[in-house]
């Protein structure tokens, strides 16, 4: 069972903090044993570590440790004169400045890598996950469902009369509509749910839960889209509706492709029955049995 991202993040932070603290202790012990006059450059290693792990903050922590260490060492080993104090201040200032620069560079690289990673996983127009990410996630979740017996439900969602909207208002307005729908979907789904742009005006939501949970979420999304106003040029306001199909994965007797097929079949039934509604394909019922939840 996978851990929540927040828990994983805290564990990584704790491990990095422990590694930085260990480096500081080791370097400090080496200085105490050999004398700081020629071993102080060893502090460059924890300085780099702090910059890589915690950016500017990590560098300042290392510089602060160095200052405290110098004061403690000088107090115990020899009297501190003006020249020694001046050298220590200049050294600490140089360490702090170098650390801030390193930390800033590491932060910029981290943000750049994060942007590149996000762009490879998400759809640029809607901000939701793209089809490739969804396909990989679906495969992994189906594997987990078979292994651990978890309930898994797929919702396929399609905007009604999207081609007609494009023909009437233009493709730029159509893109704006997709952006607005993406933001609406993202605002409704839970953090643990997978929301993706499946292709064109079709979206996919993968959740942990049964068909009842799928119907509830699909209805919330459908209602949110129906209530979303899109302001067009000339002051015109447009509204759209969406149809959805819900299918639940059956352990061992289904597959990811079959799950998508059943959700698509339920979606097309919603379209056939008049649009702006949710249809659930109950695979536990005889083939072809569809339970339809009409719009309010």
- Tell me the catalytic residues: 201
Which pair of structure tokens corresponds to residue 53? 């792990």
194-199 and 230-231 strand pairing: unpaired
**Contact at 8 Å (CB) between 23 and 45?**
yes
- In terms of Cβ atoms closer than 10 Å to its own Cβ (0-12, 13-18, 19+), residue 92 is middle
Question: Of the candidates 104, 115, 113, which has an alpha carbon nearest to the alpha carbon of residue 55?
Answer: 104
Other C-beta atoms closer than 10 Å to the C-beta of 182 total: 20
**Contact at 8 Å (CB) between 186 and 228?**
no
| Long-range contacts (CB closer than 8 Å, 24 or more residues apart) made by 172-177 | 173/230, 173/232, 173/233, 173/238, 175/125, 176/230, 177/230, 177/238, 177/240
Question: Of the candidates 70, 92, 94, 66, which has an alpha carbon nearest to the alpha carbon of residue 80?
Answer: 70
Helices and strands, number each (H, E), in the chain: 9, 8
Please report the sign of the dihedral spanned by the C-alpha atoms of residue 278, residue 172, residue 198, residue 9: negative
User: In whole angstroms, what separates CA 34 from the centre of its chain?
Assistant: 47
**Contact at 8 Å (CB) between 206 and 198?**
no
**Contact at 8 Å (CB) between 204 and 155?**
yes
């Amino acid at each position: 069972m996978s851990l929540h991202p927040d828990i994983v993040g805290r564990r990584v932070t704790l491990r990095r903090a422990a590694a930085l603290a260990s480096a500081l202790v080791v370097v400090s012990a080496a200085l105490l044993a050999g004398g700081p006059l020629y071993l102080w450059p060893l502090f460059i290693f924890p300085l780099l570590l702090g910059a890589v792990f915690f950016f500017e903050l990590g560098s300042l922590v290392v510089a602060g440790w160095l200052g405290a260490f110098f004061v403690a060492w000088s107090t115990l080993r020899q009297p501190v004169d003006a020249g020694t104090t001046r050298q220590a201040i200049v050294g600490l200032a140089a360490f702090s400045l170098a650390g801030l620069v390193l930390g800033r560079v590491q932060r910029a690289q981290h943000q750049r890598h994060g942007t590149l990673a996000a762009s490879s996983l998400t759809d640029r127009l809607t901000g939701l996950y793209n089809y490739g990410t969804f396909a990989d996630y679906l495969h992994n979740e189906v594997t987990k469902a078979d292994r651990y017996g978890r309930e898994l439900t797929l919702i396929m969602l399609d905007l009604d009369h999207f081609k007609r909207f494009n023909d009437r208002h233009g493709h730029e307005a159509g893109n704006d509509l997709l952006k607005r729908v993406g933001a609406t979907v993202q605002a409704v789904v839970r953090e643990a749910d997978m929301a993706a742009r499946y292709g064109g005006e079709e979206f996919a939501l993968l959740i942990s839960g049964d068909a009842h949970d799928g119907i509830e979420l699909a209805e919330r999304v459908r209602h949110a889209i129906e209530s979303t106003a899109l302001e067009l040029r000339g002051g015109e306001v447009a509204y759209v509706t969406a149809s959805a199909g819900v299918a639940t994965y059956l352990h061992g007797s289904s597959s990811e492709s079959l799950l998508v097929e059943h959700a698509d079949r339920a979606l097309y039934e919603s379209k056939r029955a008049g649009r702006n509604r949710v249809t659930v394909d109950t695979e536990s019922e005889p083939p072809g049995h569809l339970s339809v939840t009409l719009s309010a």
